[in-house]
Every structure is written in C-alpha cells, then in structure tokens.
Structure 1
C-alpha cells in the first residue's frame, strides 16, 4: 500500500472510493433510494472543493494503482462541545480486501499526527452504533464515547456514537 496526501486531481478516485467503501460496509442496511440519495452527495465538485481547501486534509492509499483506502480530517461540524482546538475525522475507510494487514493502523497514525500538527487538542468522529469492528478500532486508540448523533442516509436516520480522542 502506498499512502500519500490527496489533492484536487484525486477527486474522481475519491468519489469512486467513497461510494464503493460506504456501499461495501453499509449498503445492505438501506433502501436503495436512501443509499442512492446519500451516495449522490459524493460528487467530483464536492471532493475537488474539499481537496483544494487547506482546512481539509485527506490521505489516500493505493494498491496496484487503485485507490483502496482514505481518511479525511476537516473542521468540526458534528454537534460537539470541544474543550479546545478540535478537528473531525469525517471518513476513515479501507476496502475489505486490505483489512487486517496493518494498513488501518498506518492510516490512524497519519490521522493523529496530522491532527496534532494542525494544533488540535482533540479529534471527534461519529461511528454507527452497530459497527463494532470500527468502534473497537477507535477505542484501541483511546477514543471515548461522547454522545450520540443521528446520521442521515437519505431519509433514514442511523444512530451513531460520537467519539472523542484527547490529544
């Protein structure tokens, strides 16, 4: 796996990867129209704008020239009350064939180092209440439960857990 910082030229690859990774992980949970509405939010224009915005940081992982994982850090928009400078881990995905090989650990090391380098004293994220694998992963790094959140997928509201990592 080759990891690198993503930029505007990666918008199309990230649109595809974001849609594929969300569908692979959660697609079976939703009515087709709700999933389609959610995935429609991942557009070239939206990704290109975020990748060009210095407030965002995106790391992309490639294997054999194909994008297979990414993480996105951004200004907080979750309903949280930071205790200091904060950053939000908006997305953290690795396609299933690359699970269990240490790639997620490498990506999380980047997340934490980048958050610290940007002056954050805490990282926030939301995770689906029934995504036990992800919850265990985040807890391993010291993320603590900090509330709940309604994550919308089309017209469907999921119960997400808000998590906080003091840095």
Structure 2
C-alpha cells in the first residue's frame, strides 16, 4: 500500500474553505447516506447543514477545529470536525469533546486517511482539555462503529437524528 502522505495532505481548514467544505460535506453525506432518505428530506438537510454559510459558522467557532484532506491532484477528498460535545448526553460533562464529523469519499477508503484524521482530532481535543470524548454514529453504520471501537469508543446511549422529516436512530459512543 502506498504511503498516504504521498497521496494526500491533511491541513487545518480556514474560513476560505467554507464553500469547498459545503460541497464536500454534501457529497460525502449523500454518497454515504443519501439512499436512505426521500429526496426532499435529503435536500432539506443539505440546505441546512452543508452550505457555505453553515460551514463558515463552524470554521469561525473557537471551540471547534476542522481539517481538510487534499488529494495530490488538488481534489478535496475528506474532512474532520471536532469540538465541544453537542450530543444530547444526559449529565454531559462540561469538558466533554466530540468527534463531530469524519468523512472520506468512498473511492479513497482503505488508505488509512480516517486514522490520520482521528489522530489529529484526538490530539487537538486532548490539547483543549476535552474529556471524555463522544461520537454520534448511525445505528446501522457497522463499519464506522468498528472503526471507533478500535479507538476505545463504546455505546452509552441513543438519540434521534433528523434528516428532513426522517429521524434516524443514532448511537452515542463514549471514550
């Protein structure tokens, strides 16, 4: 397997990346989950969550950090968002952190980019004193659950994640 450092670079995203992250966020969410929803629900979700404006807010939040994976061709192929925990956790610890989003385009899976992103995110969360850590993951995304399990995350709860009028069953994992 080629070294992923030769294939892609990972850098902290800046305000100038808001439009690129909106496009990549919509593409990765649709690729991963789009088949689960009626088109109107998917479009409603994307119109709210993956716009340049919503990404500009994320990038401007001092309690969050965002990384962007750029392929050697210059194409944006993945990203990570971490920060203060925003999941509906009962008795949430004030210092809790969260892996909020981690996506890599499917054609670039199995290149260990997710592991590189996790290492950066975990290091940043630790540097911010964020503990414990949480992740929300779709109840039927078994690959992601196995991936996060390798980092010591285990299920501690569930919640409903709205995508338009559809509400997904999500697991809350904690480390």
- TM-score greater than 0.5 by the shorter chain: yes
What is the deviation of 1:89?
Answer: 1.6
Divergent runs of 4+, >4 A: none
Calculate the TM-score normalised by the size of structure 2: 0.91
For residues 136 and 57 of structure 2, the distance between their equivalents in structure 1, rounded to whole angstroms, comes to 22
Whether the 8 Å contact between 2:155 and 2:174 is mirrored in structure 1 is yes
Where do 5+ consecutive residues of structure 1 fail to align?
none
Paired residues of 2:83 and 2:125 also in contact (CA < 8 A): no
The total of aligned residue pairs comes to: 165
Structure 2 residue corresponding to 1:44, chosen from 40, 52, 57: 52
Q: What residue number does 1:54 align with? A: 62
**Greater Cα offset, 82-91 or 152-161:** 82-91
- Compare 43-52 and 29-38 and name the one that shifted more: 43-52
1:110 corresponds in structure 2 to 120
Displacement of 1:74: 2.4
Residue 80 of structure 2 aligns with which residue?
71
Deviations 1:54-88 (A, max 9, x none): 11100110102111111101222211133451112
The CA RMSD measured in Å over matched residues stands at 1.0
Question: Does 1:29 find its partner at 2:36?
Answer: yes
* Partner Cα distance (2:171, 2:57) in 1: 28
Paired residues of 1:127 and 1:162 also in contact (CA < 8 A): yes
Instruction: Give the deviation of 1:128 after TM superposition.
Output: 0.4
List runs of 5+ in structure 2 lacking aligned partners.
1-7
Partner of 2:20: 13
How far apart in 2 are the matches of 1:77 and 1:84?
Answer: 11
How much has 1:144 moved relative to structure 2?
1.1
Distance in 2 of aligned mates of 1:159 and 1:142 = 21
Indicate the larger mover: 106-115 or 70-79: 70-79
Structure-1-length-normalised TM-score:
0.95
Out of 78, 84, 96, which is 1:86 matched to? 96
Are the aligned partners of 1:82 and 1:122 in contact in 2 as well (CA < 8 Å)? no
Contact 1:84 1:122 in 2 (8 A): no
Q: Which residue of 2 aligns with 1:153?
A: 163
Contact preservation (8 Å) 1:60, 1:70: yes
